[in-house]
Every structure is written in structure tokens, then in C-alpha cells.
Amino acid sequence: MIDNGQVLEAHKRLMELETTRDDLLLQLHRTTSERIDSKHPVNHYFINMMEISDKLANHLWWFILQRALNVVQSDPTQLVTALRVIEREEKSDKKALDREKQTGFLPPGRPKRWRKKCLDTLEKATVERFESQPQTDDTIWLAVYLERVKRIIVDDLTTVKRLFVPCFPPSYNILICTSICTTDAFKIW
């Protein structure tokens, strides 16, 4: 499903598996005093689920968010889908942390903190976009470089304002985050 672009369906099924695993582990946590580690049969049974979760995360980070400026122009539904998955994971993290306060049990791999990873990936992509601009050997390379960067910044901020803002939940403050990322890119330069 992930390879075929059915990200929401893949995530839905993954969440069903995680819920089943977490419910089983919670019951074991309540009934036994022994530590439930990664070698426990229940964890071992669901080991492939963690690999699928990692594959889904990599798909979101590298195929959608790393290329978000291009994706939002060609197929914004991919970006919206990725953000919906990230928001679902954030809700699952909150639920898991609330459950930990009540029971002392935190499911393996939680919290995932995918929202932070999303914003970090967007920031990294922004910085790489500026760092990857070619430099020439002629004496006016700095003027050429700055002119190219200026054009890219204006184009990118226009894209963010026009296309990103409608795709992202308001709580992300994506226009503000993008401005900060752009400023950070200049600090590195």
C-alpha cells in the first residue's frame, strides 16, 4: 500500500495492528510483574509492524516532505495525506502518554513525535535548497549567487503562502516556520 501511494489506508491498518499490540502488552503489564522487553513473544510477533512503521515514516520524510515544494505544486493531496498521518500519530502519542500517566505503561516506539520530525525535515530541506546552489569561479560569483538565492526565496515564499498554508493545519504556523527556516539558512551561509 505504501509503495502504491495508499498512505492513509496503510496507516489505518498499521494503527489497528499497533492498537492490538498495545492492548495485549497493557494486559500483560497489568497482570505480570516481569519486564516486557523486545524479546517477549508478543513484541517478537509484531516485529514486522515496526519495520512497516519505519517504511511509512521514511516515505513521508523523504518522498513527500523532503520534496514538499515540488509535491505541493504537482499533487498537494500527497502533502495533505502526509500531514493527516502525522496528526493521527500525534494523537496516538498523546493518548499513549496519557495512558502512561494512568497505568505506568508506555507502548514500544512511543512517543514517535512525527510532527517535530516533519518540521525538522522541512527545515533541513530548506537549508539544503540554499546550500546546494552552485558557485562559480568568476569574480562576481557572490552577486550571481545572491541574485539566484533572492529569486528562490521569493518563489518559495510565494509557493508557501499560496499552496502550503491551505495544506497545513493552522497550529503549524507554517508561514512563520518557513520564514524562520529561511533566516536560519542565511545564518549557516
- pLDDT tens, 41-97? 877 788 888 899 999 999 999 889 999 999 999 999 999 999 999 999 999 999 999
Span 132-158, pLDDT tens digits: 766 666 667 778 888 888 888 888 888
Q: What share of the chain is helix, strand, coil (3-state, %, to 5)?
A: 80, 0, 20
> Is pTM beyond 0.85 here?
no
Per the prediction, the chain carries an average pLDDT of: 85
What pLDDT score was predicted for residue 185? 45
Give the C-alpha distances (Å, rounded to integers) separating 21 from 27, 110, 125. 10, 13, 34
Q: Give every CB contact of residue 92 below 8 A, 6+ residues apart in sequence.
A: 15, 18, 110, 112
CA distance 20 to 175: 38
